[in-house]
Structure 1
């Protein structure tokens, strides 16, 4: 069970690592070379920083970026959902990591990375900058409808960990500073690979409040690694209408194989007041304090899970999120806690992003001209827990690059596999998406 203070935590981390075979010596005072390290914390690492200030992106750029996050999330969900069991994914986190990386790509390599997000190369950076600013604006003291106040924490952060002997192109660093607020920490992949891995994992753990402690596993990095790009998102907030713990009771949950497990089922004292209906599904939005962020639970009709997932993969999620209309709902919702750990490389290649993974053929020359780089792995970890007071969720993605009641209530009993989406309410951007196949797992 969650600590009473841990009402909602959502967190995501994306990291992209790039490697190259040649061992290169540092030279001169190139702007793409490390500046002297500063004492204290991870600032003891060297820092390659651009003088460019972060841009103030217009809010009008958010819808296009949100659509790109939707497109990427739908594609990845379609690939990952073919495996049975529980699933959690942060489309926003993966999108930011890939978007940062594509700024170093050229030609068809970049085109494939943009296509997998259905993105325009001129608008993506500005749009994700504006979207991140919007997401961060959702944090702070929020007032519930009953007049009580609650704190919502929602932070996004980006970091790069580059090989200390390599020169990175100034326009690449400028773009990451201007649109993502990211500087590059320098590490020694050649002579101290394990120390570099530790530095990345420690940054990850700090940003995710220790929910994702090891995004980079042992033996993944080696002397050919040249860059790891990381995005993290963290969310913590209480429900707008908390569930009453005294009303939680064990009840059956029907698994896809026909078997049944007993799980704690939650019941709100003041039930949801909106319900969406579509082809084979019902959708119930559960807002967090202040109503600007919500979890929408998508319950397929019996036997229609695959059909509903196909609708999501086909781009139907925005329609689902926009569907709820005012209606009293008698909700029963299970508590659940689980983690997922997935390598996204195969999924991205199946979506058409093949060239960036091909050693000797990928073109990341806008990142550096000192070595031929390619993406060697994309890793994603996620954690989510839901109880009467809220949701705690965390996710991390690593892309590794190397060289070469009084009224009549409609009953909604969530007693079979279902989908969930944690999203901002204004634009419907999916911060987290997933499937609960077995709440007891």
Structure 2
């Protein structure tokens, strides 16, 4: 379906460049619409969106237009992203376009009145200063993502205040999933971690990247451990300390604002690292593994829960883009590595890897639950964090769910142990039922 106007011109050019029909309809600022009927509609609200793409014809240009509200989706965002997935990847491959293609794009921009100097990026885009993974830069990266406001995260995450993949045990189909709440699934995830770590009363647990304190609280309340949680986010720490005090566990749980490199008070019986290692990248992993090993007693266990990228080669052998939407707006300096690299680095640090559990589908479901929370509280989210930041979170969570579904990224729990000098591990010979998928 086409009604001409700006939408018809844009649709015609995109279809010529891609060699296929549009996956979803386009509506432009002049009210014109083109493309298939009966599904989501990509709404281009302003010529400014086209100008951004002229100067930055990749994922960053489109992200800037989205965050600024110059591009939107009418209808189901999840379906729109699924339909757009291949198209966005092709458009992101800038090498596929010839000089003639680029000239045609410029001619269309002239006709549509979209030419002009580059626009300033939205204020939500971050560029960090200093050496990558220096302490000050890591502090700034964590602050950018986590210091959005505890009330905003309460709205998105729900009462559990757990910002990592939930464990939807017993929810293999949609009917069963309706009976399992997000809070149930997050509680099950914390329980799974505690089981794998073999927690017992009186043990010492270290949670690296402890967030709002949910895991250390669960472990202290249900397993009688003494727990230490460390985070670089001051608002997170303040929130977690209040939760600990409200639970009457201040004698059992300590929350610190502390860089992981400064933790020196081992030995611990168990260490949890949940959603933390994604911030390290490949370069710091050897130091990280060595430190965690040094903090554990012999026989002590490490549970590393981490988002990973597929180890499969990229289509056409293309290198990873220099900068992505996630880099610029969500997790600056974050880096995903394949699970095989995680295992290699743990073993190089002295650990024996004993168990690996993939939870990829669980994270797609978790992200969609967070998106529903955000959409239900949309106006309040804007009041708390601003419209640009709310738009960032909605897009990143919805797009990440699509990437998990497509197996481009995954999430794995890796259980490792610091063995005794004679090779003993104190782990059970058989995997307990509670660890199974």
- Give the TM-score normalised by the residue count of structure 2: 0.28
Larger helix fraction of residues: 2
Larger strand fraction of residues: 1
- Give the TM-score normalised by the residue count of structure 1: 0.28
Q: Which of 1 and 2 has greater Rg?
A: 2
